[in-house]
Each structure stands twice: as C-alpha cells, then as structure tokens.
Chain A
Amino acid sequence: MSQDRLTHLKRLEAESIHIMREVAAELSNPVMLYSIGKDSAVMLHLAVKAFYPSKPPFPLMHIDTTWKFREMIAFRDETAKRLGFDLIVHTNEDGLAQGINPFDHGSSLYTQVMKTEALKAALDKYGFNAAFGGARRDEEKSRAKERIFSFRSANHVWDPKNQRPELWNLYNARIRPGESLRVFPLSNWTELDIWQYILAENIPIVPLYFAAERPIVWRGGQMIMVDDARLPLQPGEAPQMRQVRFRTLGCYPLTAAIDSDAATLEAIVREMLIARTSERAGRLIDHDEAASMEKKKREGYF
C-alpha cells in the first residue's frame, strides 16, 4: 500500500479526504465540529479540498462556552465567512443562566455542563447523525484507542471496551435512528504533522499561536492569560506582560500559555522539534482525575 511518490503529509491528507467523503456519502446529516484551534483549521482546509469544486455538504458547528479567547471568536466568524461554510453556534443557555463558570464550579463540572451537555443537546436539536472532530490519536492515551468512525449510542455514550472492528479503509457507517458517529479524520496526524501542514499549505490560524506580549497571571504553576475582566484576580495578584504563545487553545481560564519567541510558522515548527512537554500539559481539564479524558469521552465529550 506504500507509494514512495507520495510524501507523508500527502498521504495523511488523502486519508482524511477519503474519510470525509465516506461520511458525506453514507450519512444523511453530518456536521463538522469547529473548535477554532489549529487542528480544526487543518480539518476545515481538508474539507474544502475533499469536495472541491463542490462546497462541503455539511455545516460547521461551534459549541460556545462563552469563555473562549476573544481573538478566537473573531477568527471563527471570519473563517466561516471566508470559506463559505454555514456556521451554527450553540451555547448551553441553562448553564449560562445558572452562571456556571470555571472559577466557582471547578473545571470538571464546568466542562460537563458547558461543553459535553451543550454538545449533546446541539446534536439532538439539529438531528446530526455524524459529527467530525479534529482529535488526534497522539494527543492522549484514550484517544489513541479510539476508532476513526467511533460509534455512539442514542444517549451519546462511547463504549471503549466494545468498539466495532475497523479494517483497512472500509469504514462501517451504519447506524440506527437516534444513534450517531463521531468521526476523526485527523486520527493519524501528529502535532508536528499539523504544524508542518499548516506551514506547507499556508493555512490561517488564530494569532494566539504566535508569540507576543500578553498579560498573564500565574495559577498553579501555569500561566493564564487575562483575556477579559471576568478573570477574578486574587489579592495582590497583578497581571504582568510576558512574551508568550499558546500551543493549544481552549477556554482561556483553562488553557496555559508557554514562554516563547516563536512569531512565525517556521519558528513554531522548530520549537516543536525540540519540545520536551506534550501539548496537553497546558490543558487544565485533562488533569482533573485519573483517566480523565476517557471518562469525559464516555459521557459524550469530544
């Protein structure tokens, strides 16, 4: 199956396109989850390629917790418009009304309500029976175990001990009414592949990935950016300006910045090659408890 003429990235690209086309052909109502991060940027870029010259036959959906970096929201709207996607933005209004936030309720409950529950409600509301996600197997060890076409019961539950066999590129997309699939076209990409592809294809990404002077405070040994006035400052705590960037983007109170001078894509790739920590080290929700990601995923988190 190897063809030397195709580079590693070309082959990854072709595999992702194949996956997206299978979903579009076999499922009646797919949606692409858009998290605005670098992986999502690559996924959107691939979707445009997969169906060219047609438009991708599905909308984008963003689960908005209302705690994303402001630059992300601006970038989201601009990107959807530039690529001609229909964009659905869904927020858990009940959670919002109850004032659920990452400070008073802890990251675990906050994620459950504002992300997981919101996602499930949105999928049900629009009747989507397949949702693309930009997760990669190299991110985290329960993700490393997940199929590319990952089956969800009518209650959105993932059963990791009983996954469908998945052979060759013959994906089984058959489901009954109410059931759904989560599909991960970037499963076999690594973080480095993502950056090299962004560099090679010149894909626009949120400016927060590039180093700049930003106001940060220290929390639990991690640097948190003060993106707006909602971040409660502790007594004596004052934001300081520091040259930082983000290796991964989520909700700003739960995403730590890293020290960096990398202000270009080339510099980011070089930094990646000598990195000694994983990208998810900067994701605060992964460390809530042991097997944290698996638990969240079983409950319906992406």
Chain B
Amino acid sequence: MEPTKGLASPLDQLSAHETKGLLRFLTCGSVDDGKSTLIGRLLYDTKLLFEDQLATLESDSRKHGTTGEDLDFALLVDGLAAEREQGITIDVAYRFFATEKRKFIVADTPGHEQYTRNMATGASNSDLAVILIDARKGILTQTRRHSYIAALLGIHHVVLAVNKIDLADFSQAVFDEIVAAYRAFAKDFGFKTLVAIPLSARFGDNVLTPSARTPWYTGPALLEHLEQVEVVSAAAGRPFRMPVQWVNRPNLDFRGFSGTVASGTVRAGDEVVIASSGVTTRVKSIVTADGDLAEAVAGEAVTLTLADEVDASRGDVIAAAAARPEFSDQFAAHLIWMHDEPLLPGRSYLIKIGTRTVGASVTEIKHKVDVNTFQHLAAKTLALNEVAVVNFSTQAPVAFDPFGAVPQTGAFIVIDRMSNLTVGAGMIDFGLRRATNVHWQALEVTKDSRAALKAQKPVVLWFTGLSGAGKSTIANIVEKKLHVLGRHTTMLDGDNVRHGLNRDLGFTEADRVENIRRVAEVSRLFVDAGLIVLVSFISPFRAERRMARELMGPGEFVEIFVDTPLAVAESRDVKGLYKRARAGEIRNFTGIDSPYESPEAAEITLLGGTKDPEALADEVIRYLQASGHI
C-alpha cells in the first residue's frame, strides 16, 4: 500500500487526532449535478476507503454503475437498495473522513425536489454547504431552492462547486458567468463566505489539489478550502440558555436540572431565571459524572442545581437573568412545510421548541416565497416543500429567541397530532407584540358567577357524524328536554351558521377547518356566558374537534358521535345531497369524496338507525345527569 496522502504518520496522529477541529458540511444542488460522486471522489482521493469497501465498489460499479468502465463513486453513498436500483439519492447519507488538519462529517443530500425535507435534515446540523452546479446547465430551480433553504436554516458558509467543468472545456467564461449569476441572486442570503471553485468530481480536478487544466483559477482546491475555512460563529457572545430535559432526583437530597447548554456560558453562582415563571435564583453547582464544573459552555451536557427550591420541569428554559428570552404565545416565523398533506391555518398541530412540546396553530400565512424568483405570494395553504412567513399561536406561552439571535432556542419542528409525523420546520423571526404586551382583561363577573346565576354547569354538546346521520334531529330533541328541565341552552347548526357567520366559507379542507374554528370560538363565548351549547356539525376531522375540545375547560366539552352507517344516512338523503354528490355535482362531500374521521374517544356514541331519535336523546340526558352537568 502506498503511504496515505493527506494523512500524517500514525504516531503523530494519536495525539493530534483528539484536538482536531470538526467541520460538518453538506453537499446539495440539483439532481445529477454530481453530489454523491464528489463525496466518493473525496473519500477515494484522501485514501479513506478501506480495501473491502473498494472491492465492493468495483463489483457494484459493474452491476449498477453509470460510468462505463470507471468506478461509480455515487454507489459509495447511495446505500439504499431503492437508490441503487434507480440511480438516485432519496435520503441523506452521512460519511466521515479526516485529514491531518480536520475531521469532517459530510451529509450527502438528495437533489430531487420531492426529497427536499431530507436535504433540510442534512442542512440543519451543518456549518457549511457545498452547492453543486452542472457547468453545462447553470443555475437551476433546485440550486436556488437549496441555497435559500440553507440560508434559512442558518448556514453562513457556502462553496459554489461548478462541477463537470471538463464537459464545458474548462472554460473560464462559463465559470465566470455562473458565478456572477449566483452572486446576484444570493446577495441577500447573508452568507459570510462564498467561494466558487471550478471542478470535476469525476476526474478530480480542483478537488484535492489545484488542477493544471484550469490555470485561470487561482483559488484553493475544495479540500484545501474545507480544511481552512473558519466557521466559528458568533456563539461566544450569546446569552446563556438551557432547556430542561430531565429533572434529576436520585433521592430527597438532590434535585438537579439536566440539559444541554444551548447557548452562552454558565458559571456556578450566576443569576438565572426560569423563563416560564420569571422566578430568579442562582446556580449552585454544575454537576457532571466527571465532577462539578466551574463553568459550562454551549454544547455541554450538564446538570444544574439551583440555590432556591424553584418550580421548573421539562420544557422550561433556564436562562441568564440579565438577558431573558421572550415568553409569549404568538410569534412570526419562517416555516418550511414537509408533508404531502398541506398546512391548514387554524388546524391544531404540535410544535417542539427546545424540550417543550405544545399545541399550536398557524393563525395567518403572511406570504409564501417562490423559491425561483423569491417573490412573495399570497397563500391560503402551504404545500409540500413550500416556504412561507406565518404567524403562530401556541396554546400556552413558550420561551424562545429569534432564530437569528440564538438558533438553538429559535428553531422548532411541527408535528402532526394524528400521524405523529414531523411535517414542518420553523425559524422564529420575532414575538408578536400584541401577545407580549396585551394582557387578558380580568373580568369581575366570571364564567362561574354567570353559571351560578343560572344554576347550571355550562357545557358544549358537540354532535358529529355524517350528513343525514340524525345529528340535528337528536340535538333538537335534547334541547327541548333541557328546556323543559329549565336549562338555558342555545344551538349552533351547520347549515344555519353557514348562512350567516360563515357564509364566506366554502367546502375546501382549509375552509372547513376555519368553519369549525369559528364555531368553536363562538361556543366558547357561549360557555363563558353560562349556557349549554348544542353544536351540530359534520366536523369530519379529528384535529378540529380536538382543537374545539382544547378551547374549553375540563368537563366543558362532550363529544357525541352519531354513528350512523353511510348506507343508512345515504338512504335517508333528506336534502338530496348524497344524490348530487354521487352525480359529481357537489365536490368534497363527506363520506363520498372527502373522509370522515371517526372519534377515538367520544364521551357518547349514539348508534343512529338502531333506535328512534327520542331514545337516543334520552341517552344524552342520562349522561348529563350522571356526569353532574344537570
């Protein structure tokens, strides 16, 4: 074996290895711009491929390769069977290599638009992006998209790798033109370094060492630049933040707060604040298994003990008392949507920020961003891979910082409440002032006092089920019975509300979400007024029913599932709607071409079609009596 190039002798390395810096970077850009090939070339030329890996590569190249007799380096990183069969990259792959100067973790990310979320996954933990461009094709939509997303996710260092320069006759004019066009569109992205390099990943030009075939290029080769580029951020001056992960209580004498320092520095004796309560105290000790520390810096996993017995738990943020995070239930953010089902304003999702997971919804899409022109466009929903500026409202206030100031406490993910999938990634721009400054009017006459006057417990009876299930019929009978019992009631019916309050709404998924949101909010006002509210709405989506439930206090929401089989409801067809839906005259009709999501844990399930409505209404009354509502 030849001596390894770029590697120091083993004995020197033993001591040097541990103190080396680390650079995490990703390769991105459009399909077929040569991302995987470039990584393969880097590993091969730095002699970091093991012999058995090389042998596998040779046999794979013969089987799946797209480069004729040559080794197909892409096969080194495209590790999934589906990727090798189709010759594409689907998900991000991580590779590790080291030179005598630095260790590297490289994320090879997919170029297809369809897999943009996987590119974002790779970018979120990278310090630098190598954006590849095919010299023959120039800047493509994906070049712009990836550059924009990299900038959004906080990457400040970029290498523009103008690849396949061999196929453009090593032309300086081609290179210069691409670089000028790139600099023009990326000028507002806030990149601190932007280095353009002409290279050929396939043949190795300007990858490890400057190529004789581009004599006009005087800058560094790619690896030289990666070894030298200074990416240490402004992290040092940032304020101390530590989201509490886990309360550490081995016995009655020890209560510590375990977490990773997200930013800044903390020392024993520092004055800190629990962001949610505003209570201040001092750091008593910084505990680790290797002994107490005098100070801990961003990135260290520690356990803090505090001087006072303060209330803090998982999800709280311990912060520098002199530089506190914002604490609010509304903020503006950039959002990257990552799921096939669109983002619907008003729908209740979960967000995870730091170690806090909280219910949240988008109250407004300010605009989405066209990744090709960077124009701002109006939008009612957000589709897969779209980026927008939105306002978020959370169910409880959360501690955060603007992403630009402290990325670790300004980033969040969005989780779908039903599927538990990660459906979005967000970066907070700023807290909304109305949330920070406007406080709830403390009312003298309370919900309880109004209810007491009526001698009843206010509650929402939420009837859900297919059109024609019998919701309104049963609800009407229930209301009559309550009236006879001397209870103060009111009724919100789907058809009636759509003639007034919600007449501006149609039947798209987004409008249905808004329809339910308004009805839920009105119901809450009625509950505040002390009334028993009967709501009769198809309300087909679990997420919206859950949203309505979460608006009310404990015991104030009773979900009543009128469980009538579709065939029975359709045979009734009082309004002739099923017939028209079957004929294609009505779109988005629940049960026909739009789904109904059955409740998973309704308080009451009424088997429609098995008993007469009178008997079903009695079941509701009996429930209300048993639960102490009446």
List the interface of chain A (C-beta within 8 A of B).
1-11, 13-14, 17-18, 21-22, 24-25, 48-55, 137-138, 140-145, 147, 160-161, 163-170, 172, 174-176, 187-188, 190, 192, 196, 200, 266, 269-270, 273-278, 280-281, 290-291, 294-295
Contact = CB atoms under 8 A, between A and B. Distances in A.
Interface string B289-330: 110000001111101000000000010000000000000000
A276 B50 contact: yes
Chain B interface main SS type: mixed
A294 B81 contact: yes
Interface string B200-212: 0000000000000
27 contacts: A3-B299, A5-B297, A7-B19, A8-B21, A18-B245, A18-B260, A50-B258, A141-B77, A141-B93, A143-B79, A144-B94, A145-B80, A145-B92, A165-B413, A166-B422, A167-B121, A167-B153, A172-B422, A188-B94, A188-B96, A188-B105, A190-B96, A270-B11, A275-B50, A278-B53, A281-B52, A291-B84
B306 to A, nearest CB: 16
B303 A52 contact: yes
Given A2-B235, A49-B288, A142-B80, 8 more contacts: A4-B232, A21-B259, A48-B289, A53-B248, A141-B93, A142-B79, A165-B338, A188-B94
Given A52-B289, A54-B248, A8 B121 contact: no
Which of A145, A161, A175 has the most CB atoms of chain B within a 10 A radius of its CB?
Answer: A145
A6 B249 CA distance: 27
A117 B545 CA distance: 40
Contact of B415 (A48, A49, A172, A187): A172
A8 B103 CA distance: 9
A291 to B, nearest CB: 4
Given A14-B300, A174-B420, A21 B77 contact: no
B355 A25 contact: yes
A170 B411 contact: yes
Contacts of B338: 165
Contacts of B248: 51, 53-54
Nearest to B313: A25
Contacts of B400: none
Nearest to A279: B50
B52 A24 contact: no
A137 B96 contact: yes
Contact of B425 (A141, A165, A174): A165
Given A53-B254, A144-B77, A167-B413, A137 B94 contact: yes
Contacts of B95: 138, 144
Nearest to B295: A5
B50 A281 contact: yes
A192 B50 CA distance: 14
B180 interface: no
Given A6-B300, A294-B79, A294-B81, A55 B420 contact: no
Interface string B241-264: 000011011100010101110000
B48 to A, nearest CB: 10
Contacts of B92: 145
Interface string B106-124: 0000000000011011001
Closest 9 A/B residue pairs (Cβ)? A141-B79, A52-B289, A17-B301, A273-B10, A278-B50, A174-B420, A54-B250, A49-B289, A167-B124
Contacts of A266: 14
Contacts of A4: 21, 232
Contact of B411 (A14, A48, A168, A291): A168
B52 A278 contact: yes
A166 B94 CA distance: 13
A277 B1 CA distance: 12
B20 interface: yes
Given A144-B94, A276-B50, A8 B10 contact: no
B501 interface: no
Most chain A C-beta atoms within 10 Å of own C-beta, residue among B90, B91, B298 = B91
A295 B79 CA distance: 12
Contact of A167 (B303, B357, B411): B411
Given A52-B287, A54-B248, A170 B79 contact: no
A143 B92 CA distance: 11
Contacts of A5: 297
Q: Which of A54, A141, A165, A200 has the most CB of B within 10 A?
A: A165
B500 to A, nearest CB: 39
B258 A144 contact: no
A161 B290 CA distance: 41
A167 B425 contact: yes
B10 A270 contact: yes
Nearest to A270: B10
Contacts of B396: none
A273 B10 CA distance: 6
Nearest to A24: B246
